[in-house]
Amino acid sequence: GAVVSQHPSWVICKSGTSVKIECRSLDFQATTMFWYRQFPKQSLMLMATSNEGSKATYEQGVEKDKFLINHASLTLSTLTVTSAHPEDSSFYICSAREREWKETQYFGPGTRLLVL
């Protein structure tokens, strides 16, 4: 149980285009989902917290107009990187928290984004 999927697993795009990444909780309802960014050999950096049906809360220094987050249902959150640039290339990982178990976060497999 507690499986989180991400799609796509990797994406290559041209500079200036937008990329959408989906995060789904497959076997549980997630009232809260989190989006992280991870650079090579570094820790996870929280970008934003999204609650179903409300606006995402962004961490300090994260541009909300660049990283658009939508949490339209209890099983789906999306991250859209708008007007992507090479410096946005990274490993993006989502996590979801079960409604009944407040602390535990289950992570998706990650999406590797390369912006050319």
Partner 1 sequence: QQQVKQSPQSLIVQKGGISIINCAYENTAFDYFPWYQQFPGKGPALLIAIRPDVSEKKEGRFTISFNKSAKQFSLHIMDSQPGDSATYFCAASSTTASKLTFGTGTRLQVTL
Point out which residues bind partner 1 (CB under 8 A).
4, 6, 32, 34, 41-44, 46, 49, 91, 93, 95, 97, 102-110, 112
Which one, 13 or 110, has the nearer CB to partner 1? 110
User: Shortest gap between Cβ of 110 and partner 1 (angstroms)?
Assistant: 5
What residues have CB less than 8 Å from 45, skipping those under 6 apart?
A: 36, 37, 38, 39, 59
Closest CA to 86 of 13, 8, 10: 13
Q: Can you tell me the distance from the alpha carbon of 106 to that of 34, in angstroms, rounded to the nearest whole number?
A: 10
Which one, 20 or 110, has the nearer CB to partner 1? 110
Which one, 48 or 84, has the nearer CB to partner 1? 48
User: Shortest gap between Cβ of 59 and partner 1 (angstroms)?
Assistant: 8
Q: Can you tell me the distance from the alpha carbon of 69 to that of 83, in angstroms, rounded to the nearest whole number?
A: 15
